Amino acid sequence: MKKTLLFSLLTAGISLSAAAQEVIDQAAVQKIREEGLNRSQVMKTAFYLTDVAGPRLSGSPGLKNAQNWAVKELQGYGLVNAKLEPWGKFGKGWQVNKNYAAITVPYYHAIIAIPKAWTSSTKGPVKGDVMLIKIDTLTDLPKYKGQLNGKIVIIDNNAPALVRSKNPDLSRYTDEELAKMAATTPQPAGGRGPRPAGNPQMAAFMAARAKAAAMRGAISSFLQQENVALILSQGRGTDGTVFTTNGASYADTAKTALPELETSGEDFLRIVRLLRAGQKVQMEADVQTQFFTNDLQGYNVIAEIPGTDKKLKEQVVMIGGHFDSWHAGTGATDNAAGSAVMMEAMRILKATGFKPKRTIRIALWSSEEQGLYGSRGYVAAHFGKKDSLKAEQSKVSAYYNLDNGTGKIRGVYLQGNAAVGPIFQSYLEPFKDLGATTVTISNTGGTDHQSFDAVNIPGFQFIQDGMDYNTRTHHSNQDTYDRLVEDDLKQAATIVASFVYHTAQRAEMLPRKEAPKATGTN
Amino acid sequence: MKKTLLFSLLTAGISLSAAAQEVIDQAAVQKIREEGLNRSQVMKTAFYLTDVAGPRLSGSPGLKNAQNWAVKELQGYGLVNAKLEPWGKFGKGWQVNKNYAAITVPYYHAIIAIPKAWTSSTKGPVKGDVMLIKIDTLTDLPKYKGQLNGKIVIIDNNAPALVRSKNPDLSRYTDEELAKMAATTPQPAGGRGPRPAGNPQMAAFMAARAKAAAMRGAISSFLQQENVALILSQGRGTDGTVFTTNGASYADTAKTALPELETSGEDFLRIVRLLRAGQKVQMEADVQTQFFTNDLQGYNVIAEIPGTDKKLKEQVVMIGGHFDSWHAGTGATDNAAGSAVMMEAMRILKATGFKPKRTIRIALWSSEEQGLYGSRGYVAAHFGKKDSLKAEQSKVSAYYNLDNGTGKIRGVYLQGNAAVGPIFQSYLEPFKDLGATTVTISNTGGTDHQSFDAVNIPGFQFIQDGMDYNTRTHHSNQDTYDRLVEDDLKQAATIVASFVYHTAQRAEMLPRKEAPKATGTN
């Protein structure tokens, strides 16, 4: 997921009725539980999406391979209309072909460091002195002129000592935390709407941001002119865990950026301490990355179980999660987990012989990490914009999303849609024994259900136990298969399948919020 | 430290009197506290021993460089007789000159992996298929004959999924735990003496161990004959942390062993899962290690503050800790921390202008990690063996050791010497505000005070907070400067200096246990 934003809703005053009169098909639930809990394929799917496919960075050949695999796999389940559907122009693909760096003076030590996404290659294997440079304003640049040729450069960020957590890496919601979420009431006003344009704080913020971006651009150009060999920056994380980002634009028109390694905190700070103490540090490195411009298009994976009710089959229940990942790990919790669970939910529904009234459609998005682009593109193409909706918009009952890591489902965010509260309470009822109990009026942000919510299609993300998402895996080199918790993924797929089943069979589509509301960007 | 062994003592029944009549020089304590807490140099010393010196593996040039630095530094403090003193023959030096490995099929991914100490080099950069081989008995070997040439080999160890801790990495002793340690009573009998030779369990254990060693040797010879390019094994640890060991003998007569990388759990298991699923995995690697045979001798760093009392200056108070480390990190907690604290304690004593009655001697041992060899060699040369003691043995009042990581001092192990209990309770009295309160009759093992205890010289290791010693740093690639807790090292140096001060000035030498007792082999 892009980032986590939890905030309460603008709408006021509709309380969640505890009593719910939804029809729950207990026989169907039992079949779904048996298939999902006892004959699960979710870990096999997750294995293919992580270990076999590798990183699935937007636009990369790795993503395309995994998408093609998913299409075939979904066809294998018996789904129809399985395809890669373009959602618009993304930009350049990129992958790492070689990644090696070590200090060689004062002694040899290979470092843990990851190329920032979309940065370029070193000019073959390079060797050179490491230089710590201090740039507070652009007037600091000229003093380094002529001094950086072939150097490995660190821009001094006044990095403090590593702060190490006193808490466990792994966490699950406590009963108390869940009760608090359930008791959240809609906020009377405020929230995360667009800030008023005339707001002086906002203007100052935007100006500062623009200035910082301009400064970064000027520094970057200067370092390129000066023929710097490689940049080292500090990656967040400790103990060998490195959280990663991109270091350059993926736009096909973007200039290439210098090679840059996000370095483990320990290795980075060791080098910085040595340099600050006046010790000579030399390094050798060989970083080779590759760009792909043969296809700038972005794609989503789409597949369906067609509806069978003459009247209702034109209506759709959608599920999905983003399929793209960052590049340092294999995107296991972000978001092979959600993708595998959603694929497994479809498999469960097919395997139980379900003939849904409404059509059920899975969408595995791409370029979520860059701004929910895959889901936004899909929504724009099929359902329109909030001020110019297409007819198809009225036919989608719900979109269910999963993108908060490997943790099991503990409930669901209503995203301010109070009318669905009692319905979801009924849907959760058969899964209390599996720890899924909580309905909260709250919004959660940062992922693809927002694209649907933005055009007033009921879009939901489940509440999931956090596990080590924020402490270890989110965009890090440690987001690997090892973090996946089998029982949690089985539980999630089972619950999602049941939600989808009941939404597909329900007499009415799910109630909608009164009018489209922007829930903010991203 | 080699390993942690905590067990109660053989001797019976001497209770620790709460009342203590030791003379505490409050003015001296105040000066020591001021120097140790407000003008500390301990982090600077630790920085040189870790970041600047790098790994200090026994016999390596890195260790020798650091030892030479320490001698000069101790001279700079004003210590005398500072020198490298040989303790006997160690074996080959070894260091890593290049360490690179990556999977290249099914996609590129550089792995986190550390050469096992004293293993050899790849034949330049190598590329090859990774093979998972299964060897339950030696009769499994022939089936791989002719198949392993140039291959990268994993011996299938039936590795389970990674188990990730639910506890925090960092820990300190609770009041309750300390109270329990303080309340420990000497055990009436038993303990860790040598096992009777006729013990059938012991015979079976020794036979099984010999058989396992023979099997390892046979497998190793086979893999070498078959021209295997590289071995990958699983290193303990998660999240990028890799605990390391040696993979071959350091004896100058030892045959070279194949290059072998201890691989992070995540990277290792990814490869194993792929191979088990029948997926092709290829790797490239370049591992270059270097052996040093020009000097097979082992050395300790020795320096003194000479005694000034005509009668007592022939008597000695010793302090120390081991100076050697493993190779993957910079041995910050094991044991640059203890070495820096002990050097700092000497500096504090000199800086406060202290003229001790007895001579104070610091010893920074080497080859502790291979079996306490530096301290054992020193003890044998100066104090004899337990059945043939030398005269010098009678002149050492105490040996204080520090080797349990970066955690502050919480008290001291009496090592079964109940008579020193009241004395140490008095010595701790001025440091209650710094958290050092506990005296326990217990033994602790695994480090160099045992070499003194073995010849009935009172040898003590302090109780230290565990911090992340067992979870992250002990022999791992994460044992770096970042783990050092400045306040804790300052506290420890201050307390050690005061212990040494009072031991040096005391009317009598410290009481001894009745007879030498073997505290077990390591």
Helix or strand holding residue B444 (H, E): strand B443-444
Chain B residues with CB-CB distance to A277 below 8 A: 47, 51-52
User: How far is it, in rounded angstroms, from Cα A331 to Cα A37?
Assistant: 24
Contact A108 B99 (CB under 8 A): yes
CB neighbour class for A86 (10 Å; exposed up to 12, middle 13-18, buried from 19): middle
User: How far is it, in rounded angstroms, from Cα B224 to Cα B243?
Assistant: 25
> What percentage of residues in chain B have a pLDDT greater than 70?
92
User: How far is it, in rounded angstroms, from Cα B106 to Cα B281?
Assistant: 6
User: How far is it, in rounded angstroms, from Cα B448 to Cα B324?
Assistant: 12
Contact B274 A51 (CB under 8 A): yes
Chain B interface disruption, residue of A52, A103, A108, A282, most B CBs within 10 A: A108
β B260-263/A230-234 pair status: unpaired
Domain B94-165+220-292: CATH class, spelled out: alpha beta
User: How far is it, in rounded angstroms, from Cα B400 to Cα A81?
Assistant: 76
CB neighbour list of residue B126: distance below 8 Å, 6 or more residues apart: B150, B152, B229, B230, B284, B285, B286
Tally of residues, chain A? 522
The candidate with the shortest Cα–Cα distance to A220, out of A290, A133, A97, is A133
Instruction: Choose the closest CB to A241 out of B54, B110, B239.
Output: B239
The model carries a pTM of 0.93
Chain A: residue whose CA lies nearest to B289: A108
The Cα-based distances of B261 to A101, A177, B62, B229, B289 in angstroms read 17, 44, 21, 11, 12
Instruction: Choose the closest CB to B47 out of A102, A169, A273.
Output: A273
Amino acid found at B439: V
Contact B239 A239 (CB under 8 A): yes
Structure confidence at residue A208 (pLDDT): 87
Structure confidence at residue A376 (pLDDT): 98
- Which of B207 and B466 is assigned the larger pLDDT? B466
CA angle B397, B400, B404 (to 5 degrees): 165
pLDDT digits (tens, 9 = 90+) for B237-275: 999 999 999 999 999 999 999 999 999 999 999 999 999
Chain B: residue whose CA lies nearest to A327: B109
Q: Give me the numbers of helices (H) and strands (E) for chain A, helices first please.
A: 11, 20
Mean pLDDT of B101-106: 98
The candidate with the shortest Cα–Cα distance to A267, out of B338, B489, B232, B50, is B50
What's the topology of domain B6-90+296-505?
A: Aminopeptidase (3.40.630)
β B297-305/B359-365 pair status: antiparallel
The rounded radius of gyration (Å) of the Cα atoms in chain A is 24
User: How far is it, in rounded angstroms, from Cα B372 to Cα B389?
Assistant: 19
Contact B266 A482 (CB under 8 A): yes
Report the range of poorest mean pLDDT among B401-405, B468-472, B496-500, B515-519.
Answer: B515-519
Chain A residues with CB-CB distance to B273 below 8 A: 47, 51, 481
Amino acid found at A233: S
Structure confidence at residue A202 (pLDDT): 79
Contact B265 A482 (CB under 8 A): yes
Structure confidence at residue A192 (pLDDT): 36
Per the structure block, which two tokens stand in for A308?
Answer: 């069978």
Structure confidence at residue B25 (pLDDT): 97
Structure confidence at residue B190 (pLDDT): 36
Structure confidence at residue A16 (pLDDT): 41
Chain B: residue whose CA lies nearest to A283: B98
Mean pLDDT of B492-509: 98
Structure confidence at residue A338 (pLDDT): 98
Contact A480 B242 (CB under 8 A): no
Mean pLDDT of B485-492: 98
Structure confidence at residue B329 (pLDDT): 98
- Which ranges of chain A have pLDDT less than 70? 1-20, 187-198, 515-522
Structure confidence at residue A195 (pLDDT): 43
Q: Write out the DSSP string of A231-275.
A: EEEEPS-STT--B--BSS---TTPPP---EEEE-HHHHHHHHHHH
Chain B: residue whose CA lies nearest to A278: B52
Chain A: residue whose CA lies nearest to B62: A107
Structure confidence at residue A197 (pLDDT): 52
Contact B98 A98 (CB under 8 A): no
Chain B interface disruption, residue of A48, A51, A100, A239, most B CBs within 10 A: A239
Chain B interface disruption, residue of A270, A280, A327, A468, most B CBs within 10 A: A270
B197 band by pLDDT with thresholds 50, 70 and 90? low
Chain B residues with CB-CB distance to A164 below 8 A: 169-170, 468, 482-483
Structure confidence at residue A200 (pLDDT): 75
Chain A interface disruption, residue of B239, B279, B472, B474, most A CBs within 10 A: B239
Contact B273 A51 (CB under 8 A): yes
Question: Where in chain B are all domains bearing CATH 3.40.630.10?
Answer: 6-90+296-505
Structure confidence at residue B157 (pLDDT): 81
Chain B: residue whose CA lies nearest to A55: B107
φ, ψ of residue B412 to 5 degrees: the values are -150, 145
Q: How many CB atoms lie within 10 A of CB B10?
A: 18
Structure confidence at residue B83 (pLDDT): 98
Chain A interface disruption, residue of B266, B271, B465, most A CBs within 10 A: B266
Contact A266 B478 (CB under 8 A): yes
Cis check: omega of the bond before B81, within 30 degrees of 0:
no
CB neighbour class for B166 (10 Å; exposed up to 12, middle 13-18, buried from 19): exposed
Contact B95 A106 (CB under 8 A): no
Question: Where in chain A are all domains bearing CATH 3.50.30.30?
Answer: 94-165+220-292
Chain B: residue whose CA lies nearest to A101: B100
Mean pLDDT of B299-304: 98
- Which of A22 and B57 is assigned the larger pLDDT? B57
Structure confidence at residue A521 (pLDDT): 42
User: How far is it, in rounded angstroms, from Cα A270 to Cα B361?
Assistant: 32
B2 band by pLDDT with thresholds 50, 70 and 90? low
Q: How many CB atoms lie within 10 A of CB A171?
A: 17
Chain B residues with CB-CB distance to A287 below 8 A: none
CA angle A41, A44, A50 (to 5 degrees): 140
CB neighbour class for A85 (10 Å; exposed up to 12, middle 13-18, buried from 19): middle
**Bridge partners (DSSP) listed for residue B154:** B132
Chain A residues with CB-CB distance to B97 below 8 A: 108
Chain B residues with CB-CB distance to A482 below 8 A: 161-162, 164, 238, 265-266, 269-270
The candidate with the shortest Cα–Cα distance to B415, out of B91, B9, B4, B49, is B9
Chain A residues with CB-CB distance to B168 below 8 A: 165-168
Is B237 in contact with B328 (CB distance < 8 Å)?
A: no
Amino acid found at A431: F
Look-up of token digits 């301010």: A416
> What percentage of residues in chain B have a pLDDT greater than 90?
86
Report the range of poorest mean pLDDT among A505-509, B21-25, B121-125.
Answer: B21-25
Asked whether residue B159 carries a pLDDT value surpassing 90, the answer given is no
Tally of residues, chain B? 522
Q: Write out the DSSP string of B13-49.
A: -----S-------HHHHHHHHIIIIIS--HHHHHHII
